[in-house]
């Protein structure tokens, strides 16, 4: 069975953010991710992770939170300076939080110029933070209309163009199902590039159990291939978080 991580942006939302770290540890998680941790003191979050014996796996860049704000700038021509400023702010938080990975969000854009901008920004970021693992993630356009990085072929092309040892793929099984309809096939084609996995059920984006995605097969595939990264539950619990955790066991 893979090693599971709790996405505290989505899970344990019955509690304030600072209380979710303890809740995750008590539920059996050994690692957490927080997508946009910028509205809370970084040291307070770091203390919670230390006190509860948790590893911090992932955070997103840029800093603005997901509530109605732009979903990244890395692929938007003309916003290179903003991307660099935001990336530096992310790194300041990362110095305290010590995430294993930072997910660099592309933003809403299209076309060859957007791809070239994405590649150049990622080259700069990878060289600017050579010891920090960075990821890019294809996100389906049903959930995020107009998002630039919306398929795996583009992601592979961008990774090859950047060719940085600290830039890899982030594989979200829910998005893979939305994009291709074939999670296991998508993993077979691109999983060797992935350093982080996220999961949720379909339809509904609830617990990764039942529904159209066969997680028994997918998790067995990860085990068979010796995937050593974390698998994060990034889903909206159907009821309470604790009531729906049987999928881990």
Catalytic residue set: 137, 234
Structure tokens at 209: 């159990």
CA atoms within 13 A on the CB side of 111: 4
Phi, psi for residue 111 in degrees, rounded to 5: 95, 175
**Paired residues of 59 in beta bridges:** 102
**Paired residues of 4 in beta bridges:** 231
Q: Look up residue 248 and give its DSSP letter.
A: G
Burial of 158 (0-12, 13-18, 19+ CB in 10 A): buried
* Separation CA 14–CA 36 (nearest Å): 18
């Amino acid at each position: 069975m893979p090693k599971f991580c709790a996405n505290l942006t989505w899970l344990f939302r019955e509690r304030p953010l600072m209380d979710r770290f303890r809740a995750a540890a008590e539920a059996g998680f050994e690692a957490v991710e927080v997508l946009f941790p910028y509205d809370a003191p970084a040291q307070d979050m770091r203390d919670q992770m230390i006190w509860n014996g948790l590893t911090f796996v992932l955070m997103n860049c840029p800093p603005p939170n997901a509530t109605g704000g732009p979903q990244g700038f890395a692929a938007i021509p003309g916003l290179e300076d903003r991307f660099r400023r935001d990336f530096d702010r992310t790194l300041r938080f990362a110095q305290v939080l010590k995430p294993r990975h930072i997910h660099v969000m592309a933003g809403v854009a299209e076309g060859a110029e957007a791809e070239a901008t994405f590649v150049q920004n990622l080259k700069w970021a990878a060289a600017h933070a050579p010891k920090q693992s960075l990821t890019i993630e294809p996100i389906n356009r049903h959930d995020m209309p107009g998002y630039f990085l919306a398929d795996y072929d583009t992601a592979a092309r961008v990774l090859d163009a950047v060719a940085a040892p600290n830039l890899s793929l982030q594989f979200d099984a829910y998005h893979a199902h939305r994009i291709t309809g074939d999670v296991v096939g998508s993993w077979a084609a691109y999983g060797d590039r992935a350093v982080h996995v996220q999961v949720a059920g379909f339809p509904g984006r609830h617990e990764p159990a039942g529904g159209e995605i066969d997680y028994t097969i997918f998790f067995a595939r990860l085990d068979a291939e010796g995937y050593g990264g974390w698998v994060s539950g990034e889903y909206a619990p159907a009821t309470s978080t604790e009531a729906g955790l049987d999928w881990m066991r």
